Amino acid sequence: LSLRAMSLVYTTMLAIVPLLAFAFSVLKGLGFHRDLEPILQGFLAPLGPRGAELSTQVVGFVDNVSGTALASLAIAILLFTALSMAQKVESSFNFVWRVDRPRSFARRFSEYLSFLLVGPLLMSVAMGFTATLASTTAMTRLREIGFIGNVFEAVSWLTPYVLIIGSFSFLYVFVPNTRVRLVPALIGGVFAGVLWAGGGSLFTSFVVSVSRAEAIYAGFGIVIVAMGWLYLSWLILLLGAQLAFYVQHPEYLPLGQRAPSASNATRERLALSAMLLVARDFEEPGHGWRIESLASRIRVPRHLLDPVVAALMAAGLLTRTSENRLIPARDLRRIHVTDVLAAVRSGEPDSHHQPGDEWNPTVASVVGEVERAIRDALGGRTLADLVDADARTPEAPS
């Protein structure tokens, strides 16, 4: 996570002006462009007076870019930079959520563009609504009442933190290219929001204590301090995403950052379990199985199930619907248990055994005996037979 956060710092330094220029042009067209500077000042508040100075310089530069250089080519460059930044953020979130496949280019373009267009507007509207509500005559009178005034002050104090937590939670749901449930996202958002607020206070104290370093770094001091705050912010955001991931997938906790692995026996059990659940749901139509829900039902990390499902699909035993749900690829009575076992055994070809190699005759004989014993023991049993047997077996308590 630390390396990902550092990578995002440099990407942010390169993309912040184009990103803000794009947001500025959107807000300016809707009459909300004056709300951009307070948002940036709030983010850079932990830098102290230097934060206000830096935000003024950035907004001034953005204003110049927006006013003089937004020709067609400039808009295209700004849009490309903003989308590249969003792609880098998605890549980091996918890493945390252990997602191998990013969004397609079409989805990436449409969803990122929608977010870049709507995100600044929603933030500005929320801040504007809060400020307008606080300045109304009715609210002014209510604030003069003792108890209600105290409640209003508490709500006013909490509002920025609620917006931060809501923004973080939205990112945890929207950015990863996988389904994230609301409760884990909210837990991660609360954790990251509180940590970000606390980290901001500590960072402000740190900036004040090391202000003498400006004599050494001169004009570069503000850049170094800004990079430090950006790194801390990205790290907190990724830590919140990781917490949300572990809340949704507690089965990964014992693994830590290690890649999960399965023995051949485990792969065979996973294959049979997956095929049985999919077949049972196919016989008695229910909600259908996506690979995420299937992994949750079997109680294994998805990374263990992904290669098993891929092998079953490659063998023509499973297929996906247009809704990305798994169904049997052919009639259940034409899918033998031996087919399922053979699929996961041959699903990952051995790169060390070349096509021209020959096994030792003794080894080949033993392997053949094992395979014949398996076929004889199963006696031509099919997936339909497993479904029937499972229907007669009482459910084990969970």
Average pLDDT value for residue range 70-90: 71
The total number of structural domains that make up the chain: 2
**Residue 159 binned pLDDT confidence (cut-offs 50, 70, 90):** confident
pLDDT, tens only, 253-306:
776 666 667 778 888 899 999 999 998 887 666 567 888 888 888 888 888 888
**Residue 349 binned pLDDT confidence (cut-offs 50, 70, 90):** very low
CA distance 177 to 90: 8
Same structural domain, 104 and 145: yes
- 14, 230 in Cβ contact below 8 A? no
Residue 258 belongs to a domain: no
Looking at residue 394, the DSSP 8-state letter turns out to be P
Question: Which is more confident, 197 or 59?
Answer: 197
Same structural domain, 272 and 239: no
DSSP per position, 205-243: HHHHHTGGGHHHHGGGHHHHHHHHHHHHHHHHHHHHHHH
Average pLDDT value for residue range 122-146: 57
Same structural domain, 125 and 167: yes
Residue 126 belongs to a domain: yes
**Residue 398 binned pLDDT confidence (cut-offs 50, 70, 90):** very low
Same structural domain, 164 and 198: yes
Same structural domain, 54 and 123: yes
pLDDT, tens only, 350-376:
444 544 456 678 887 887 888 888 888
CA distance 386 to 364: 30
- The CATH number of whichever domain residue 330 belongs to comes to 1.10.10.10
Percent of the chain with pLDDT over 90: 10
Domain boundary among the residues 193, 213, 248 is at: 248
Average pLDDT value for residue range 61-67: 57
Strands 318-320 and 326-328: antiparallel
> What local confidence, expressed as pLDDT, does residue 356 receive?
46
> What local confidence, expressed as pLDDT, does residue 29 receive?
58
**Residue 378 binned pLDDT confidence (cut-offs 50, 70, 90):** confident
The residue range of the domain holding 276 is 264-348+360-392
pLDDT, tens only, 102-114:
777 777 777 776 7
Residue 257 belongs to a domain: no
Same structural domain, 142 and 291: no
Same structural domain, 225 and 297: no
Average pLDDT value for residue range 180-186: 93
Residue 253 belongs to a domain: no
pLDDT at 98 over 90: no
pLDDT, tens only, 186-239:
999 999 988 988 877 777 776 666 555 555 555 555 667 777 878 888 899 999
**Residue 144 binned pLDDT confidence (cut-offs 50, 70, 90):** low
Same structural domain, 119 and 198: yes
> What local confidence, expressed as pLDDT, does residue 93 receive?
92
Same structural domain, 222 and 284: no
Sequence-distant contacts of 1-7: CB under 8 A, at least 24 apart: 1/96, 1/235, 1/238, 1/239, 1/242, 2/235, 4/92, 4/95, 4/234, 4/238, 5/231, 5/234, 5/235, 5/238, 6/231, 7/88, 7/92
Same structural domain, 116 and 232: yes
> What local confidence, expressed as pLDDT, does residue 241 receive?
94
Residue 397 belongs to a domain: no
